[in-house]
Structure 1
């Protein structure tokens, strides 16, 4: 078979992405890691996981304001080495946090497809949103939320390998931070080709697999380590975002 004309990838799957084989040897990273003495000593906890080789990972999140029914949605796309590919953020009108999370997933799927990405893992920290998209059968939408769910599912009928799965909040810090970095007060979608500087430490923590406890966050010592690592990487003209 001519390798240039491979058959299309399998259709969209709403099952969690299978874990990589223990025997699989990952390719060398595209970035130069910092020296060992710059890596922090960290306890067992939760961290963002890089996608397997050949895939990208899209993390989405939303922030809902009950008093004005306005939300912000955001997403962060990174490659197998944890390098920033793009992000997005926008203000939206939504009736609930659930609807806002759905809108973030829909926008992420649309952008991924439009940008030609065909091997995608999408993560949301809303387990209910993930379950509804995977499991709910909708023939005639009765409201806007069902319309969004159906639209997400229709992306699943396209020819690509796309997996949607739940992640804990502690594995979704980058998308959460981007919901707070809106380019303007308008409802226009903003695509971030380069991440805001304020996300640099979070992205670095994710790249090196820095762990945090459940319901926790990066502590002062971890942030101090990250700042040292950041200075060292910048001094070597190495960029991780």
Structure 2
């Protein structure tokens, strides 16, 4: 099922609460935690994550097979997917927590990276459509 994005919303009010050691986002904001990974250097890869609100309630989650790539590219594809979802949801206040410090650094400055440029450009363009956002690093264990 590579390339198919599966998303689910908590429309039933299931009361799923996400425990977050780093604190919940401020009122009116959503927090996005997600991850991309690959088996070995260029093995089968995928990404997934979830959005939760200021009370820790699960809002929406997603998962997608990416194909074969490395972990860095899987993280970048996962970021692109989640930014698309945030845009479709009309999110205007978003905290994005990533375990990949290298991607956090790329997203928080305008440095070019010719190897990642088309995908990085997409991520930056989608990010600019969210008026208030923070892209933060968290250790993988907390993500």
TM normalised by structure 2 equals 0.78
Whole-angstrom distance in 2 between the partners of 1:130 and 1:113: 19
Q: Match of 1:95?
A: 69
Q: Aligned Cα RMSD in Å?
A: 2.1
Answer 1 or 2: higher relative contact order, Cα 8 Å, separation at least 6.
1
Task: Note closer, same or farther for the CA distance 1:115–1:74 as it changes in structure 2 (3 Å cut).
Answer: same
Show structure 1 runs of 4+ deviating over 3 A.
none
Question: What is the total number of aligned residue pairs between the two structures?
Answer: 125
Q: Match of 1:51?
A: 25
1:152 aligns to 2:123 (yes or no): yes
Can you list the C-alpha shifts for 1:73-113, whole angstroms capped at 9, x where unaligned?
Answer: 00110000000000000100243111111111111111001
Which stretches in structure 1 are left out of the alignment for 5+ residues?
1-30, 32-45, 173-241
Contact 2:41-2:70 within 8 A present in 1 as well: no
**Bigger share in strand:** 2
Whole-angstrom distance in 2 between the partners of 1:109 and 1:82: 20
Alpha-carbon offset, residue 70 of structure 1:
1.6
TM normalised by structure 1 equals 0.48
**Bigger share in helix:** 1
